[in-house]
């Protein structure tokens, strides 16, 4: 572990204390009676394959400039978000309170049900299908997973999926470089530590 720092969830605000909060309008209330039962791991980079820019935050906050990159003109009208983003340097950014519904899963199916946004939390890793993720990203994701699972105990280790698992054929993230075994070992280890 690079740095062990504590991370806490505030159920009143729905926020993780160490995250930089950048409010996205792309969210709403979960349906009546819908509990959080699954965690979905995504990967995103904007422009595709490039890291460190403002594109992801701009996309989730509806401020992406269509003229800045050819790809942006295809996606700038999308209304999407995720609860959390883990940047390449380990920074955690939160866009949507965990007790609200973020718009991350799209057309999807999980646990035998559609509309996965209703009962999931979406965490994005800054990454792509073409590059390994950073060590610190695994560490932060594991820490987040443990904090989220404490707050939402219906999320079991078996109820954690990649975007590609819930939208096969449509999505490939978190991609072939995401090491599920390493991630699972880390979050069970940090849960005890």
Q: So which residues are the catalytic ones?
A: 124
Nearest alpha carbon to residue 145 among 72, 84, 93, 100: 84
Residue 142 CA neighbour count, 13 Å, CB half: 26
Task: Tell me the three state secondary structure of residue 119.
Answer: helix
What is the spatial distance between Cα 37 and Cα 121, in angstroms, rounded to a whole number? 8
What is the spatial distance between Cα 85 and Cα 122, in angstroms, rounded to a whole number? 9
Residue 44 CA neighbour count, 13 Å, CB half: 25
């Amino acid at each position: 572990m690079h740095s062990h720092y504590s991370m806490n969830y505030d159920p009143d605000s729905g926020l993780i204390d160490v995250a930089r909060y950048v409010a996205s309008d792309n969210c709403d209330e979960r349906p009546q009676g819908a509990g959080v039962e699954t965690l979905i791991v995504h990967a995103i980079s904007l422009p595709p394959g490039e890291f460190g820019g403002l594109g992801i935050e701009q996309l989730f906050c509806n401020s992406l400039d269509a003229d800045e990159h050819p790809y942006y003109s295809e996606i700038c009208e999308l209304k999407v978000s995720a609860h959390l983003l883990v940047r390449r340097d380990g920074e955690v950014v939160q866009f949507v309170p965990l007790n609200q519904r973020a718009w991350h899963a799209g057309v999807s199916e999980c646990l035998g049900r559609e509309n996965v946004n209703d009962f999931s939390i979406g965490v994005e890793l800054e990454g792509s299908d073409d590059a390994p993720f950073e060590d610190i990203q695994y560490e932060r994701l594991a820490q987040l997973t443990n904090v989220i699972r404490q707050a939402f105990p219906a999320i079991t280790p078996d109820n954690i999926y990649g975007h590609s698992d819930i939208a096969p054929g449509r999505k490939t993230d978190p991609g072939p470089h995401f090491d599920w075994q390493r991630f699972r070992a880390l979050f069970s280890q940090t849960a005890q530590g």
